[in-house]
A and B are shown apart, each in its own frame.
Chain A
Amino acid sequence: MIVSRLTLRIARTQLLAKKKQTTIAALGVTFGIAMFIFMISVMTGVNALLEDTMLMNTPHIRLYNDVTAVRPSLLEETYGNDTIWPVVRHQRPKQTKRNIKGATMIVSDLRSDPAVIGVSAQVTSQVFYNYGPVQLNGVIAGVDILEEDKLFNLRTKMKYGRLEDLPANRDGLIMGIGLARKLNVNPGDRVTVSTPGGSLQSFKVVGIFKTAVGAVDDQKSYANAESVQKILEEDSRYFTEIQVKLRDVNAANAYGKAVFNQYGYKAEDWETANATILQSFVIRNVMTVIVAGTLLVVAGFGIYNIMNMTIYNKMRDIAILKATGFAGSDVRGIFMTQAIIIGLLGGSLGLIFGYIFSYLTSKAPFDGGDVLSIDTFPVNMDYRFYIMGILFGVVTTALAAYFPSRKASKIDPVNILRG
C-alpha cells in the first residue's frame, strides 16, 4: 500500500467533501471506543477496589498451626505401615495448643528478609463480648498494633481514637465498628470479654475501626498481645499466627511454600485464601473484554458498510483516477487512508467521550454501604486503556476498510467509463 502525500491529499479532499458521511462513520467508531473505555474503566475499577479491599484485610501470607491436619495414629508411629495395617476408627485431633512454637524467632527471621515489608505476630481467640445484657460472639486479636498497621494500614481505618492509644492502655481495645454498634458501646466504655476457657477480663474501648469488610467489622477487636495472652492464661511467647506482608504481592504463593518448608507451619497465601473471589474477577474481566469487543465489531461493521457504500458511489472517480494513471495500490491507499483517518478521528473523539463519562462516573456519589468504604463509584483511569482504545479503533477500521479497498483497487476503469 502506497500512502504518499498525493494519496493523502486525495483522501482528505474526498472526506471533506462528504462531511456528513464522514461524521457518521467517525461517530460509529466514537461510540464503540467511548463505550469500550468507559466499560473497561468501570469494570477494572470495581475489580481493583474489591481486590484492594481484599488485600487490605488479608495478609499476603498467614502462618498458623493447622491442628486439623491429618496426623499419624499412635499405632502407625509405633509399628510403621510396612509390617501391619493399622485401622484406627474415629480418630480425633489431639488436644494440642494452637500456638506456633518459636514464634518470636520466626518473626525476627522473616523481618530480616528484604522481600518482607512487615511481619505481625498475633494471638487470636474466639470470645464473647459482654456489655450489659448484650452478649456477642466475636474474635479478639492480641497484636503489636503498630506492626499490624504496617500490614493493613489500620491508621487510615480508625473512625475514632488513635492507634497509639492501645499500647498506652494495658486493657485497651480497638473495636470493629459493626461490633461496637451492635453492642451499643461508645469509646471509653468498658466491655467484658470471656474466653472459651472461661476466664473473664474487662477491656476499655479506646478506638473504633472500619475496614469496610462486614465480616471483620462485626466480629473483630484488637487488643495488646499481653492482655490476650493473659486471658488465655499463656505466657508472652504464645502466638497463634504470624502474618506477613511482602514487597511483591504476586510472590506470595512461592514465598508461602518456602516458609512452609522452612518452619513446618501451614502458610496460606492470599490467592489461595481468596481463590473463589479471584475466579470471579477473571470472569468479570472476560465479560468486559467480550462486551467491549462486540461494541468495536459493531462499529467495524458500520465502517465496512460505509466504506462499501462510499466505494460504490465513487466507482466513477476510481475509474477516472485509474484512466489518468493511478495504480490499483494508489486507489487502495486512498481508501485505506480515509478509513484510518475516520478511525483516528472517531477514536480520538471516543477517547475524549470515554474519559468524560469515566470522569463523571468517578465523581458520582455512590454509597458502598457497610460492605465497601467508598463515597463515589470506583473507576480505574488507566492510560493504557486509552492506548488500547485508539489502537483497537484504528485496527478495526483498517480491517473493515481492507476488503472494500481491495475491491476498489480491482475495479476495471473501462467498464465504468464506457458510459
Chain B
Amino acid sequence: MENVLEAINLNKSFTDPVEFQVLKNISFSVRKGEFLSLMGKSGSGKSTLLYLLSTMDTVYDGQVVINGQLLTGMTQDALSAFRNEHIGFVFQFHFLLPEFSCLENVMLPAMKLNKWSNREIEKKAMEKLELLGVADQAHKLASRLSGGQQQRVAIARALINDPALIMGDEPTGNLDSHNSQNVQEIFRELTTRYHQTIIAVTHDPEFAKGTDRIIELSDGEIVK
C-alpha cells in the first residue's frame, strides 16, 4: 500500500532558554488508511513532532512528504491551504473560536475550502456533530461547552473537509471512557471505510491497543 506520509530525518531544536534538541533523526512512514498512535512520556516531544508533521511548524531540519508532495520549504499561505484540504488537526487543548457557535466552528474550514454550498456544509457539519454526540450543542457558543464537549466539537471540525490525514494531540484526553470508545470507533471506521489516515498522540494504553501501530518516543527518539 502507498505511503500517505513520510518523515525523513527530522531534527528539531529549541534555543530558548538553552540549546535543546527535542527531536533527533526521526524517520518513519505511514501508509494510507493506517491508524497510528504516538506514545511516550510527557516532554518526550510528541506534540512537537505532530506540529512538524501537520506543517504548522516550519522550523526544522529534514523533510516532510504528504501525498507524495514535499511540504518542507513551502510558504505559510500555501501550507495553510494544504492543511485546509488535506489535514484535520485536533489540538491537545481543544481550541475553538469562542465567539462562534459549535456548528459555525465546524463549518468554518469547509467554508474556507469553498468546495460545497453553505447548505451542504451545514448538513455535513451537523452529521459530524451527530457522530460525536454533540449535535444538541450545535447552536451554543463554543465557550459555553464543557471541556469534553469542546474536544468532540474540535474532532468534528477536524473531519469536516474529509482530509486524507487526521492528527490528534490526545484527542480523547478529556473524554470519559464511553466517549473515548466512541471516538476510537469513529477513527477506526474512517480508516477502514474511507481510507483516511489517523495519527493520534495518546497516554491511554487502552486506546493505543486498538490502533494498527504504536510509535513510541523517548527523549526525542523513536524507540519502538
Contact = CB atoms under 8 A, between A and B. Distances in A.
Interface in A361-419: 412-414, 417-419
A328 B56 contact: no
A325 B77 contact: no
Contact of B76 (A6, A10, A324, A328): A328
Contacts of A322: 76, 80
Contacts of A13: 99-100, 104
B70 interface: no
A327 B77 contact: yes
A320 B93 CA distance: 11
A329 B75 CA distance: 13
Interface stretch (B108-116, B122-130, B185-193): B108-116
Contacts of B112: 6, 324-326, 330
Contacts of B74: none
Contacts of B54: 323
Interface stretch (B38-46, B81-89, B145-153, B201-209): B81-89
Nearest to A415: B57
Interface string B31-65: 00000000000000001000100101100000000
A341 to B, nearest CB: 15
Interface in A316-360: 316-317, 319-330
A14 interface: yes
A317 B108 CA distance: 12
Contacts of B77: 327-329
A283 interface: no
B157 A324 contact: yes
Q: Provide the main secondary structure of the chain A interface.
A: helix
What band does the interface of chain B fall in when counting residues whose beta carbon is under 8 Å from A? Answer: 20 to 34
A329 B57 CA distance: 19
Contacts of B166: none
Nearest to A410: B76
A327 to B, nearest CB: 4
Contacts of B131: none
Contacts of B111: 6
Contact of B80 (A316, A317, A326, A419): A326
Contact of A324 (B57, B84, B98): B84
Contact of B56 (A17, A327, A417): A417
Given A316-B95, A418-B51, A419-B93, A323 B56 contact: yes
Contacts of A417: 51, 56, 91, 95
Given A13-B104, A325-B112, A419-B92, A414 B80 contact: no
Contacts of A324: 83-84, 89, 108-109, 112, 157
A327 B80 contact: yes
A172 B91 CA distance: 99
Interface in A1-24: 6, 10, 13-14, 16-18
B133 to A, nearest CB: 22
Contacts of A321: 97, 108
A17 B83 contact: no
A14 B80 contact: no
B96 interface: yes
A99 to B, nearest CB: 84
Contacts of B96: 320
Contacts of B161: 325
Interface in B164-184: none
B143 to A, nearest CB: 9
For B104, B112, B157, which residue has the most chain A Cβ atoms within 10 angstroms?
B112
Nearest to A16: B99
A327 B100 CA distance: 19
A326 B76 CA distance: 10
B57 A325 contact: no
Interface of A: 6, 10, 13-14, 16-18, 316-317, 319-330, 412-414, 417-419
12 contacts: A13-B104, A319-B95, A320-B95, A321-B97, A325-B81, A325-B84, A325-B85, A326-B80, A327-B80, A328-B76, A328-B77, A418-B51
Interface of B: 47, 51, 54, 56-57, 76-77, 80-81, 83-85, 89, 91-93, 95-100, 104, 108-109, 111-114, 157, 161
Question: Lowest 5 CB-CB distances: which A-B pairs, in order?
Answer: A325-B84, A17-B99, A327-B77, A324-B109, A414-B56
Given A322-B76, A323-B56, 7 more contacts: A13-B104, A14-B99, A323-B54, A323-B83, A324-B84, A328-B76, A418-B47
